[in-house]
Amino acid sequence: MRIKETILILLLGLLISCAQKNKEVKKATIRTENPTKKVFLYKDIQWGKLNPARGDNSPLAATIWGDRNAEVPTGFLAKFKDGFSSPPHIHNVTYRAVVIKGTIHNDDPKAEFMWMKPGSFWTQPVGEPHITAAKGNVNIALVEIDKGPYLVKPLSEAKSTYERPINIDYSNIVWLGHEQTNWISKSSKAEISFLWEKKNDNAMGLFVKIPSRSKIKLLSTGEVFHAVTIKGELECYIGKMMNTLVAGSYFTSKFNAFHRLENKKDKDVVLYINTNSKVMIDAFE
């Protein structure tokens, strides 16, 4: 049965933050005056079956970067019907996931149900038996893998690895402000939560919280940068064009790029970011 990893995520966030304070910002290998930027709105998503072999019982899926059927890093949205519960199974790859809408349970087949709300984060190690269940009118999660293809496998192929699953409810996320991390300027009230890190290729995943009625300027410096709106509604400006990013929407860029983001609502916005270099957050008027 899965053990709650609240203490682990507390320590992880603080350790990553401290390590980054002593690390020089990685310089982009190519500098561009007009870096490539792309926005993918939730309303434009085209859904297909995640596991076609299950027919109408399959969850739906929509790839937003990469290709889940190829050997490349990929992020996709998975949608589950109310009352969905998968049979016990394993996957051929490790995945990470964030709840965007509804409530989702993911754990050992014998574990007590723990319903995770939007903003909750979990990981599922390769080869480990588990079930996934959902309840709510609309249930959506962001799922990402470091290398595909993403396949469902029978329990007969289960195996143990050094990896351990993590389930972090949104209420247990640890937030760091400008006093705890130099990734945020003193003028900004935004907050960061460091979720995971892979030191061999500088890859990392983090949440950015943008307070209600506030604006931020986010500088991404990595060759890899993927951002998905997890909670709330965000305005993203590209030139003079304003894009409204509701939960499930996505934007990306390469190398040094400034992102002007505004939260016009009375609720906080939470972004999930997958990148391979430091991001800097400042306020703007």
Whole-number CA gyration radius for the chain: 18
Q: Count of domains in the chain?
A: 2
Residues 202 and 270 in one domain: yes
pTM for this predicted structure: 0.88
pLDDT for residue 12: 52
Higher pLDDT: 31 or 36? It is 36
Same domain, 210 and 114: no
* 33, 113: one domain: no
- pLDDT tier at 148 (50, 70, 90 boundaries)? very high
Name the domain boundary from 145, 170, 195: 170
Taking residues 59-68, what's their average pLDDT?
Answer: 96
| Domain co-membership, 148 together with 222 | no
Residue range 123-150: average pLDDT? 97
Region 91-95: what's the mean pLDDT?
97
Does residue 192 sit within a domain? yes
- Rounded mean pLDDT of 163-185? 96
Residues 33 and 137 in one domain: no
pLDDT at 3 over 60: no
Mean pLDDT computed over 154-167: 93
* Residues 152 and 55 grouped into a single domain: yes
Is residue 27 predicted with pLDDT exceeding 60?
no
Taking only the tens place, the pLDDT of each residue in 230-255 is: 999 999 998 788 999 999 999 999 88
Q: What is the structure's pLDDT at 23?
A: 45
- Considering the domain boundaries, does residue 200 fall inside one? yes
Summary mean pLDDT of the chain: 89
Confidence of residue 61 (pLDDT cuts 50, 70, 90): very high
pLDDT at residue number 13: 54
Query: Has residue 278 been placed in a domain?
Result: yes
CATH number at residue 244: 2.60.120.10
In this model, does residue 173 exceed pLDDT 70?
Answer: yes
Give me the mean pLDDT over the 178-196 stretch: 97
**Domain that includes residue 91, residue range:** 46-170
Token reading at 4: 């709650």
pLDDT tops 90 at residue 4: no
How confident is the model over 11-21, as pLDDT tens digits?
455 555 555 44
Confidence of residue 191 (pLDDT cuts 50, 70, 90): very high
Regarding whether 161 and 89 lie in a shared domain, the answer is yes
Same domain (yes/no): 51, 32 = no
> How far from chain centre, in Å, is Cα 69?
19
One domain, residues 163 and 176: no
Strands (E) in 8-130, as ranges, are 37-40, 48-49, 60-65, 74-80, 90-91, 95-107, 121-124
Same domain, 155 and 68: yes
Q: Given a cut of 80, is residue 8 above it in pLDDT? A: no
1 within a domain of the structure (yes/no)? no
**Domain boundary, last residue among 141, 170, 199:** 170
**pLDDT reported for residue 30:** 40
* Strand blocks (E) in 162-256: 166-168, 191-198, 203-210, 214-220, 225-231, 234-238, 241-245, 250-253
CA 204 distance to own-chain centroid: 10
pLDDT of residue 54: 86
Does residue 184 share a domain with residue 120?
A: no
- Domain assignment present for 251: yes
| Selected residue with higher pLDDT from 214 and 26 | 214
Q: Of 15, 50, 67, give the one whose Cα is nearest residue 141.
A: 50
Domain-embedded: residue 107 = yes
The set of residues, in sequence order, having a beta carbon less than 8 Å from that of 39 and lying 6+ positions away, is 236, 238, 243, 245, 249, 250, 251
With 60 as the cut, is the pLDDT of residue 34 above it?
Answer: no
**The domain boundary residue, chosen from 170, 188, 221:** 170
Mean pLDDT of 99-119: 97
For 252, what's the count of Cα atoms within 13 Å in the CB-facing half-sphere? Answer: 16
State whether 199 and 251 are in the same domain. yes
* Band of residue 36 on the pLDDT scale cut at 50, 70, 90: low
Q: What is the reported pLDDT for 241? A: 87
